[in-house]
A and B are shown apart, each in its own frame.
Chain A
Amino acid sequence: MLLPQTLAIARRILIEHARQPRTLFFWGLFPALMMLLFGLIYGHNPTMRVGLDATPAGILIGAALFFSGLGGTMAIVVGERERGTLKRLLMSPLNPAAYFLGIVLALSVVALLQAVVVFAVAWPLGARFRGNVALGALVVGLSVFGYVGIGFFFAARFARRAEDLNGPLAALGVPLLVLGGTFFPLSLMPDFLVALARVNPVLHMSEALKGVAGRGLGPHDIASELLFLAAFSAAALALGALSWRRLLAEEAGA
């Protein structure tokens, strides 16, 4: 039942997104504009040009997947609550892992489209993907997994209505981005923040993808990041199952 249920969830989410193209449009527009602006600024400053190839990776992790993966997951779960479909899902023999994996699968497709958009904007600006595309795709997949796990947890804990989405996304999500080295490199951070950043999955997503895309690193070079992300994905799945139980308890009490 796991695979058919996973595919059913993913298909449903993708159909909904395809019929609400506005969300998809903005999920594409935001990283495209970020890439364009960063690319123009990097291109204008010869000393910064060396970092140009890693820029699409940073934007993909910090701007594109952050909103589609984390925000998107929260919106999906909160939407189920608001529509009342969550009660139906909880009544059905749906495996919580299938629900989780279905979201991961659907948002991975979205992430793929975002990656195409970002790199399509980056290419004319001179940025190049230096590494193995399959390895980059693996990092993106693991990143989506991680974001979905965090989004699931945030939605179960902190968001009951659509109006609640922005609060946890800003208050808890953006600090994850800052600690992920998206705004400042780790070298600028005090030691205790560096220690904190080391357990932040966003840092490992960002480091791994920047390494593959910008410096052409191979799987051995980013083994520690891959290991961390794989472990975090497993933890995210477990977190998703726990969050599902919480949703069940809350829905029965609603």
Chain B
Amino acid sequence: MSLEVPPHAATTPVLRLQGVHKQRGNRTVLQGLSLELQRGEVFGLLGPNGCGKSTTLLIASGLLRPDAGSVLIEGAAGPGTRARVGLCPQQPALYRELRPAENLDFFAQLYGVPAAERARRVAALMQRFGLAPHAATAAGRLSGGWQQRLNLAVALVHAPALLLLDEPTAAVDLQARQEIGALIAGLNADGTTVLMTTHDIDEAQALCHRVGLMQGGRLAAVGTPAELCARVPGRAVATVITPNPAAVHARAALLGWPVRERAGALACLLPQAPHAGTLRDLVQAFDGVAISSVSVQPVGLAHAYLEVMQAEAASARA
């Protein structure tokens, strides 16, 4: 599934990172990162551990200052912009003895939300996030999934212009993951701008208008999931497990199919999208080649990710 990118209206971007550098000790964490998020956009940052995703979020949040480059929230810079950003950390950051509404109310008070508006917002968030049945339960006694919902709700209590989500579904079970994904999609439908990090490629494909693939502190590729998928030189991927990889390479070369080596298997990039006869065609194509198993998938964001990361690794080696 690919979402439609919101129209890039001639308005100030909600977030603008320009040439951001960050050094931590001897390590360059971000090198010249530039990124713009338009109002209503959901942008996902994908990349291996240590590639700079979380540092990007911290810099966008205003908690961490870049060594060079600029950070603008709705066109403004400086510590005052922190209040326009809502941060949802990976682990629930809640007062465990306080009930859900008390957590929400507390943070709303810190942001100076007037009392009447505060009560309205707290009630609305309790309702929207399905927390009303748990109103009497202390946050620390909620299950992981409910704590994460509350964690997300707290990040929204001051109606931020930009919502930062740090791997929002990393620590919850599958059902909670789906429910939280639906909540994020719902928030975006209301126009909330979201910058999220994730390791879940399916989640990124389902939720994000655009995705940035990070490697070594910079964006190796940016685009809609469809645009990133178009970088893969094929429309379907046949994953082949064989005792004779050389033979598969040779046959694929004859057929003009690029081959990638991935975790003990070979990925043959097929020129056509999968159809009912694809497997039969593959069996015929590899006639005479020893094959243990073969499966076919349409090209997805995961393939685009691997394609970009392998290209980056090759470029780094060169």
A252 CA / B63 CA spacing, docked (Å):
5
Interface pick from A13-21, A36-44, A116-124: A13-21
Tell me if B110 and A92 are in contact (CB < 8 A). Answer: yes
> What residues on A are CB-neighbors of B58 within 8 Å?
252
Residues of A within 8 A of B89 (CB): 84, 87-88
Q: Is the interface of A mostly helix, strand, loop or mixed?
A: helix
A100 to chain B, nearest CB (A): 14
Instruction: Give chain B interface residues in 58-83, CB to chain A under 8 Å.
Output: 58, 61-65, 80, 82-83
Q: Determine if A93 and B63 form an interchain contact, defined as CB atoms under 8 angstroms apart.
A: no
15 A-B pairs besides A88-B89, A93-B80, A252-B63 with CB distance below 8 A are A1-B112, A4-B109, A4-B112, A12-B102, A16-B97, A83-B93, A84-B91, A85-B93, A87-B63, A89-B110, A90-B63, A92-B82, A92-B83, A248-B63, A252-B65
Contact residue range for chain B? Answer: 20 to 34
Question: Of the candidates A4, A15, A91, A93, which one forms a contact with B87 in the assembled complex, judged by CB atoms under 8 Å apart?
Answer: A91
In the complex, which residues of chain B have a beta carbon less than 8 angstroms from the beta carbon of A12? 95, 98, 102, 106
Contact of A175 with B by CB under 8 A: no
Q: Chain B residues with Cβ under 8 A from A20's Cβ? A: 97
Contact B98 A16 (CB under 8 A): yes
Which of A83, A92, A253 is close to B96, meaning CB atoms less than 8 Å apart? A83
Residue A193 CB within 8 A of the other chain: no
Contact digits for A54-69, partner B, Cβ 8 Å, 1 yes 0 no: 0000000000000000
Closest B residue to A5 by beta carbon equals B110
Q: Which residues between 7 and 40 of chain B lie within 8 Å of chain A, taking CB atoms?
A: 24
Check B107–A83 contact: CB distance below 8 A: no
| Chain B residues within 8 Å of A, Cβ to Cβ | 24, 58, 61-65, 80, 82-83, 85, 87, 89, 91-98, 102, 106-107, 109-112, 138, 154, 158
Return chain A residues, CB-CB under 8 Å to B83.
91-93
A4 to B80, CA, bound (A): 19
> Which 10 interchain pairs have the tightest Cβ spacing?
A84-B93, A8-B109, A252-B64, A19-B97, A92-B110, A252-B63, A16-B97, A93-B83, A94-B110, A85-B93
Q: What residues on B are CB-neighbors of A221 within 8 Å?
A: none
Q: Which residue of A lies closest to B58 (CB)?
A: A252
What distance in Å separates the Cβ of A25 from its nearest Cβ neighbour in chain B?
15
Cβ-defined contact, B93 with A5, below 8 A: no
Residues of B within 8 A of A16 (CB): 95, 97-98
Alpha-carbon distance A12/B94, docked complex (angstroms): 12
Chain B residue contacts of A85, Cβ below 8 A: 93-95
In the bound complex, what is the Cα–Cα distance between A5 and B83 (angstroms)?
15
User: Which A residues form the contact surface with B (CB < 8 A)?
Assistant: 1, 4-5, 8, 12, 15-16, 19-20, 83-85, 87-94, 248, 251-253
Specify which chain A residues have a CB less than 8 angstroms from the CB of B112 in the assembled complex.
1, 4-5, 93
Residue numbers in B under 8 Å from A94 (CB-CB): 110
User: How close is B316's CB to chain A, nearest CB, in angstroms?
Assistant: 27
List the B side residues contacting A88 at CB < 8 Å.
87, 89, 93, 107, 154
10 sampled A-B residue pairs with Cβ under 8 A: A1-B112, A4-B112, A12-B102, A19-B97, A83-B94, A84-B92, A87-B89, A89-B110, A91-B62, A252-B64
Contacting residues, chain A, for B102 (C-beta < 8 A): 12, 15
Check if A8 sits within 8 Å of B110, measured CB to CB: yes
Asked whether, in the complex, the Cβ of B24 is within 8 Å of the Cβ of A253, the reply is yes
What residue of chain B has the Cβ atom nearest to residue A20's Cβ?
B97
Residues of A within 8 A of B138 (CB): 19
| C-alpha gap A91/B60 in the complex (Å) | 11
Instruction: Looking at the assembled complex, report how far the CB atom of A246 sits from the nearest CB atom of chain B, in whole angstroms.
Output: 14
* Chain B residue at minimal CB-CB distance from A86: B93
Decide: A91 and B97 in contact? CB cutoff 8 A: no
Please, which residues of chain A bring their CB within 8 A of the CB of B106? 8, 12
Q: How far is the CB of B115 from chain A (nearest CB, A)?
A: 9
CA distance A83 to B151 in the complex (A): 12
Most buried by B among A4, A92, A93, A248: A92
